[in-house]
Amino acid sequence: MSENNIVLNPTQKFYIRLIYINAFITGAVVMAMEMTGSRFLTPFFGSSVYTWASIISMVLLSLSAGYFIGGYWAERKPYSFYPGYFIYIAAILILFIPVYYVQLFNYLYEIIPDAKTGGFVGALITLFLPLLMLGMYSPYSVKLGSVDSVKVGKISGNLYAISTIGSIVGTLGVTFILIPLIGLKTITVSLSVTCALSGMSLIFFQPVESNELKPNSKKSKNQVWLLLFIYITLLMLVLFWNDIFNSADTKNKSTSTILEEVESEYNHILIKQKGEYITMGFYHYGANHLESSINTLNENELPLSYAQIMPVALLYNDKAKNLLMIGLGGGAVTRYIQNYIKNIDITGVELDEKVIDLAKKYFGLVEKENYKVIIEDGRIFLHRSKNSYDIIMLDAYKGGYIPFHLCTQEFYQMVEQHMNKNGCVVLNIHRGSKLFNRTIQTLGTVFDNVELYGSKTKGNAIAVAYNGTLKSSDELNMIADSLQNRYNFYHNLNELPELKFNNVVGQKQKILTDDFAPINFLNAIQEHNEKIEESVQ
């Protein structure tokens, strides 16, 4: 096939076309697996730059190894059926990822305290082998597609161009179309099926020395039917096993009933019910992080302790006419406040549209004239908004941590610019980590006063930041009494001033900025220390 002016028979011409088609498919699947890989890893190891670095480096490593091995093999065994088997094996490896990844990542999460290392190992186990096999296809495609040695440069350029176009389609198709529409496991199985059909087509239509378009031999035809039977058997096994695993996993996650499980563009959302309580949680870092909770028998109750403290904002602006909530979630806190202060205008900003859909379905969230819901990133909303607010609440979390761009000095400066003269900002922060101390110190560079409420040890703390004269304890108690007498809140406002505490932040540390905000690293220190404490106990 290296001589010039070679006349190809129809089978050979068709096979060459298949080489190009499969170059597109393998390119698309590689990038589709990179994007789905991020969805596999994020709930367990976070969506930080470390996780993405692990995924990208693993893709590059596996492709490099595949190019090297494939090129070596192509020179020694340039047989037309090999590329098909490479893709077919990749299909099998991809097919089993939905079966084992949850148990594997839970195990890695337990034995590897460092999220960065755990994410890298997880990416290695799930992505390396299937992408290595797909990488081996590229040098083989150049070898088998170069029927004219004079044009080998053009042929290889065309193949890599088509493969790259496939990568673009795979990236955009999975990210913008498939992830919002179907589940991650369905996407992965679909990619596997695509690879299996792609690989078997190359094996089935091997070139022959004739003018007929038919398999190379009866033996290769039988091989394809055998491969098809094996794949369908494994596919049925995976689908059946997946149903059993999901049932067992549902029982193991909690004694509560899962009402709905939704995989959105941003979160793995679980809606559960236990008795009269319904909760919304985000499955992240191997755990279900509660976001919202309501009592179906008592709409006035705020079951989550931090949510009961959030209305402390009213003590700092008892004449508030409007309120902005970034990270609306189920809307429990804002709905609670408006149930008592009927004339307050509320704007809730939430990035995840699926969260809002579930909040409307299960948590009684209703949009109306004085309760508006905006589907947008909180910082983008503030950047575009011309409005100012009496109270701004911040409760945007991605699993166990605040997205870095929502806790930097520049962001808090933007928040301050949207506060009215006597306005305040209230935010929910996890205690017990270096991130907590740095967040408080960063707030202190923007606002005159930062006060803390909640537990003095672990758990969530509510920070209130505002400008102007520091409010005394007597003043806060007086305002709490007045508001409680006027509105008769279910959770007594009189008790909130007693939860105020002084935070000892220790040595001054580098504040969080858009340029420097290692959120995941600071949280990882906390999680590592907690695991050590648990093992000691």
Domain check: are 270 and 320 in the same one? no
Residues 60 and 18 in one domain: yes
Residue 76, number of CB atoms within 10 A of its CB: 6
Are 400 and 262 members of one domain? Answer: no
Task: Decide if 342 is inside a domain.
Answer: yes
| Residue 325 pLDDT greater than 70, yes or no | yes
Does the pLDDT value for residue 16 go beyond 50? yes
Q: What is the mean pLDDT of the chain?
A: 85
Do 408 and 267 have their domain in common?
no
Q: Is the pLDDT of residue 2 over 80?
A: no
User: pLDDT per residue over 408-452, tens digit each?
Assistant: 999 999 999 999 999 999 999 887 667 788 899 999 999 999 999
Residue 128 domain-assigned?
yes
Indicate the length of the chain as a whole number.
537
Q: How confident is the model at residue 284 (pLDDT cuts 50, 70, 90)?
A: low
Examine the domain organization and report whether 220 and 364 are in the same domain.
no
Tally of domains within the chain:
3
**Is there a single domain that holds both residue 120 and residue 145?**
yes
Q: What is the pLDDT of residues 107-157, one digit of tens each?
A: 887 788 777 888 899 999 999 999 999 999 999 888 887 765 557 788 888
Q: Is residue 1 part of a domain?
A: no
**pLDDT value at position 366?**
94
Quickly tell me which residue has 């949850």 as its tokens: 102
**2 part of a folded domain:** no
Same domain, 84 and 188: yes
362 or 523, greater pLDDT = 362
Q: Is the pLDDT of residue 66 over 80?
A: yes
Looking at the fold, whether 268 and 169 belong to one and the same domain comes out as no
pLDDT value, residue 498: 92
Domain boundary among 252, 278, 307: 252
**106 belongs to a structural domain:** yes
Examine the domain organization and report whether 156 and 94 are in the same domain: yes
**Residue 77 identity (one-letter amino acid):** K
Average pLDDT over residues 474-488: 96
333 and 474, same structural domain?
yes
The CATH number that applies at residue 356 is 3.40.50.150
- Pair 365, 272 in one domain: no
Domain membership flag for residue 294: no
Cα–Cα distances in Å, from 515 out to 47, 381, 409, 496? 18, 21, 10, 36
Quick one: pLDDT at residue 3? 44
Q: What is the pLDDT of residue 175?
A: 86
- Higher per-residue pLDDT: 11 or 504: 11
Provide Rg for the chain, Cα atoms.
29
- Residue of 14, 184, 225, 196 lying closest to 99 (CA atoms): 184
pLDDT tens, residue by residue, 501-529 = 886 555 577 888 887 777 655 554 344 33
The answer as to whether 364 is a domain residue is yes
Q: What is the domain extent for residue 275?
A: 257-287
Give the DSSP H/E element, type plus range, for residue 159.
helix 152-172
The per-residue pLDDT for 97 is: 93
H-helix or E-strand containing 451? strand 449-454
Percentage of residues in the chain having pLDDT higher than 90:
55
Q: Beta strands of 148-256 (E only): which ranges? A: none
Q: How far is CA 95 from CA 107, 308, 385, in A?
A: 20, 46, 46
Task: State residue 248's pLDDT score.
Answer: 42
Task: Give tens-digit pLDDT for 69-119.
Answer: 999 988 888 777 789 999 999 999 999 998 888 888 888 877 887 778 888
Query: 4 lies in a domain?
Result: no
Starting at the edge strand found earlier in the chain, the sheet holding 287-295 runs 257-263, 268-274, 277-284, 287-295
Residue-level pLDDT at 326: 96
CATH number for position 139: 1.20.1250
Q: Which residue has the higher pLDDT, 243 or 267?
A: 267
Token pair recorded at residue 230: 């094996």
Asked if 319 and 239 sit in the same domain, the reply is no
* pLDDT recorded at residue 466: 97
